[in-house]
Homo-oligomer: A and B are copies of this chain.
């Protein structure tokens, strides 16, 4: 990947003239950067071509900061669907602002960006250590989330009206796109408002980022669903446990969960298309397994096999109600499997499990909790330093600043790569089902 070094540079709102409050230490200078390409080959190539290597700014407290803590008002907004750890991030930002920097004016925007839209009249809530100290034991977001787009200029106006100096945005790629536009609008209006993103995607599909928060917890919970599906499959004659799991564009949850709990026999993900029919198609392979072993567990990512759903959709054009369930790969597969075995006169007992809402809503496990706490803290350091249009991320085991646009690059599973190869080995499913 060749990108211009400036693509990874971070914007400052202005000169930092205020010394960090006492008690903060371990200052990091902006010049501390890590190489984007840390291979020896990359080193040699840069050295030979005399190029300046692409590098990324390290996160951490800056000795001088931009905002005066006593006069600073900060806001937190959480967008999109639930994900384990959101409350940990809210807690960490609030605690960091309050205790490390002495910022006392902290508000929480309700229901995502729409909480900034005056039409909805959602009143922000005041945040303080007392309010956030115990929120990590419950899942969800104390600020609630919402999906959907708001007009960028109205968001900028709302921030100005509320006298917000720093806005911390927790959300997925849609949110990050909006945050990037908001940063531009703010710059255009020459406002001094910092926008700091904490990327959230339970699917763990951000390319530059080692691991998204909540992913570890999601895997732990998915493992429980797999165990249940396995027990149900073995507990009935020709039992089939079918689980639909999160993963719109990439099957990281499905693949990792299958590695963590070895009872899965088939993993279906968006990155590895499969045929349903035909001698080597999925249904045929499934039938072979049922005949041989008498049970099977299938884990399907919600984004898998979308090509079949579009087809199915065309079939159902006559249905006036436009039943959205037809786009559901889980229900679709359930029906296809049941029809296939009925046609082949083989009794099966299929149990369909859709645990997504029971996964997204649990509290973060310990490692996610620590991770969220770090992300929140680094976000606070970045915001107080007047950095804007950035997100904090873990990259090669270091916390760094990335331009907010970095959240747009997707990480997908390479169907020829090591991760997928291990899934195939673990499940025993064929390399291709076509």
Contacts and interface: CB of A to CB of B under 8 A. Distances in A.
A207 interface: no
A358 B245 CA distance: 14
A236 B40 contact: no
Contacts of A366: 216, 219-220, 222-223, 256-257, 260-261
A335 to B, nearest CB: 9
Interface stretch (A26-34, A154-162, A282-290, A405-413): A26-34
Nearest to A137: B137
A237 B421 contact: no
B138 A231 contact: yes
Contacts of A355: 355, 358
Interface in A203-253: 210, 216, 219-220, 222-225, 227-229, 231-232, 234-237, 239, 241
A368 B376 CA distance: 24
A425 interface: yes
B140 A234 contact: yes
A231 B217 CA distance: 16
Interface string A20-57: 00001110000111110011110100110000010100
Interface centre among A43, A47, A351, A360 (most CB of B within 10 A): A43
User: How many copies of this chain?
Assistant: 4
A201 interface: no
A111 B234 CA distance: 10
B25 A34 contact: no
Contact of A231 (B140, B377, B395): B140
B377 A422 contact: yes
A126 interface: no
Nearest to A84: B231
Interface stretch (A141-149, A176-184, A192-200, A305-313): A141-149
Contacts of A314: none
A139 interface: yes
A114 to B, nearest CB: 8
A357 B82 contact: no
A340 to B, nearest CB: 15
Contacts of A145: 235-236
Nearest to A138: B231
Given A139-B231, A365-B365, A377-B422, A34 B26 contact: no
A163 interface: no
Contact of A225 (B358, B417, B422): B358
Given A34-B39, A144-B239, 9 more contacts: A26-B417, A26-B421, A31-B40, A60-B418, A222-B366, A228-B361, A231-B361, A231-B362, A377-B422
8 contacts: A111-B236, A133-B262, A140-B231, A140-B234, A145-B235, A260-B366, A261-B369, A354-B354
